[in-house]
Amino acid sequence: MADPDRTGSHGWRGELGVYRRLVGARIRSDWQYRASFVLLLVSQVLVAGLDLAVIAVLFGRVDALAGWTALEVALLYGLGGVAFAVADVFASQAELAGRHIKAGTFDRFLLRPLSPLLQLSAGEFALRRAGRVVQPGVVLAVALAGTDIDWTPDRVAMVPVALASGTVVFGTVWVLTSSVAFWTVETQEFGNAFTYGGNHLTQYPIDVLGPWLRRLVTFVVPLAFVAYFPAAYLLDKPDPLGAPSEAALLTPAVSLALALAARAVWSNAVRHYRSTGS
């Protein structure tokens, strides 16, 4: 049934184009409420500042945490913070799925020939969250310059790889915990423990955690790969529990595996929604 007037199914490049336009639409909508936008933007920047303020306060009292100096912790903070902020801009909208389901507006996504996750991300896009990247970005730059890193080519490559993978890890944690909303709508807060808690966790060397928690954070919810392992690799810092520094090289693979898992869980969640209604 070829119709010359229709361009047909999108393909991933086409979907990206549609995504861009839908995001633009949302930004234009938000701009109608300018004052609120500005204030929220400012508060976003400050929110990110709080975590940094905590670290600053702690290092006002001690010189090192679990063997990591202030600048080294700053590196953790920078890597995790930038990854988290970028994931926040593109993927955090998934946590709003529950609200849409409750309000009955989720069906609208199913009536359009696009992935519901894409529509959710674009439709609830919040440009102001981009403000959260600035401060961790600055901290990251300062830390990279200030710490004593032996800049071999693989280490140079590690920085963007870690950031990209870290973003994917946080993004998938968001999607995974938001999928719960399709089964029980009341437990959205449960996801916050993983996303915001996760962000908080990556700012510190995982050595601070007890042994079984460390294992959890390495093998189950691989937050250790967002900042800790890459940073240990960059700084050539031996891991007190004996993990090889090559662990950092697994980072892209880990994030890819997690992304595939998230995709499967989300699809399953949508299928469940279509079976049970709201």
Partner 1 sequence: MAVVALDGVVKEFTVARRAGRFRRERSVVRAVDEVSLSIEAGEMVGYIGPNGAGKSTTVKLCTGVLVPTAGRVAVVGADPTRSRTDVVRRIGVVFGQRTQLWWDLPLRDSFDLLRHVYGVHADRHRTNVDAFVDLLDLAGFLDTPVRQLSLGQRMRGELAAALLHDPEILFLDEPTIGLDVVSKEAVRSFLVALNRERGMTVLLTTHDLVDVERLCTRLLIIDHGRLLEDTTVAGIKQRYGGERVLVVDLEEPHPPLEVPGAHVVRTDGPRQWLRFSPDRTAADVLARVAAQAPVRDISVEETPIEDIVRRIYEEGPR
Partner 2 sequence: MTAYRGATAAGVFTNTVFGFLLVYVLLAVYRERDEVGGFDVVDAVTFTFVAQALIMVVGLFGDSEMAERIRTGDVVADLFRPVDLQLWWAAVAYGKAGFYALFRGIPPFLIGVAVFEVRMPPAGAWPWFVASVLAAVAVAFGWRFLLALSAFWLLDDRGASSLGLLVAVFMSGLFVPVVFFPGWLESLARALPFASMLQVPVEVFLGKHRGADVHRVVAVQCAWALVLAGAGRSVLSRAVRRVVVHGG
Q: Which residues bind partner 1 (CB under 8 A)?
A: 3-10, 14, 17-18, 21-22, 25, 28-30, 32, 104-105, 107-108, 110-114, 271, 274-277
Judged by CB, which is closer to partner 1: 83, or 122?
A: 122
Among partner 1, partner 2, none, what binds residue 14 when CB lies within 5 to 8 Å by partner kind? partner 1
Q: Report the DSSP beta bridge partners of residue 64.
A: 69
Judged by CB, which is closer to partner 2: 50, or 220?
A: 50
Judged by CB, which is closer to partner 1: 10, or 155?
A: 10
What's the CA gap between 88 and 223, in Å, rounded?
A: 15
Tell which one of 29, 187, 268, 278 touches partner 2 (CB under 8 A): 187
Q: Are 162 and 190 in contact (CB under 8 A)?
A: no
Minimum CB separation of residue 160 from partner 1 in Å reads 31
Picking from 28, 3, 232, 27, the residue whose alpha carbon sits closest to that of residue 128 is: 27
Q: Are 195 and 208 in contact (CB under 8 A)?
A: no
Minimum CB separation of residue 13 from partner 1 in Å reads 12
192 binds partner 2 (CB under 8 A): yes
* Total of residues contacting partner 2 (CB under 8 A): 40
Picking from 169, 184, 191, 138, the residue whose alpha carbon sits closest to that of residue 252 is: 169
Of 61-69, 160-168, 222-230, 258-266: span binding partner 2 (CB under 8 A): 61-69
Judged by CB, which is closer to partner 2: 8, or 210?
A: 210
Among partner 2, partner 1, none, what binds residue 268 when CB lies within 5 to 8 Å by partner kind? none
What's the CA gap between 240 and 52, in Å, rounded?
A: 25
Among partner 1, partner 2, none, what binds residue 213 when CB lies within 5 to 8 Å by partner kind? partner 2
Among partner 2, partner 1, none, what binds residue 29 when CB lies within 5 to 8 Å by partner kind? partner 1
Judged by CB, which is closer to partner 1: 112, or 200?
A: 112
Among partner 2, partner 1, none, what binds residue 246 when CB lies within 5 to 8 Å by partner kind? none
Q: Bin 62: left if φ > 0, else alpha if -120 < ψ < 50, else beta.
A: beta
54 binds partner 2 (CB under 8 A): yes
- Name, in order, each residue with C-beta under 8 angstroms of 205's C-beta and a sequence gap of 6 or more: 65, 66, 67, 68, 72, 73, 76, 228
Picking from 270, 263, 272, the residue whose alpha carbon sits closest to that of residue 109 is: 270
Q: Are 103 and 113 in contact (CB under 8 A)?
A: no
| Both tokens assigned to 215 | 């294992």
Q: Are 82 and 133 in contact (CB under 8 A)?
A: yes
Render the burial of 90-101: b for 16+ CB within 10 Å, e for the rest.
bbbbbbbbbebb
Among partner 2, partner 1, none, what binds residue 35 when CB lies within 5 to 8 Å by partner kind? partner 2
Minimum CB separation of residue 16 from partner 1 in Å reads 11
Binding residues for partner 2, rule: CB under 8 A, are 33, 35-36, 38-40, 42-43, 46-47, 50-51, 53-54, 57-58, 60-66, 184, 186-190, 192-193, 197, 200-201, 204, 207-210, 213
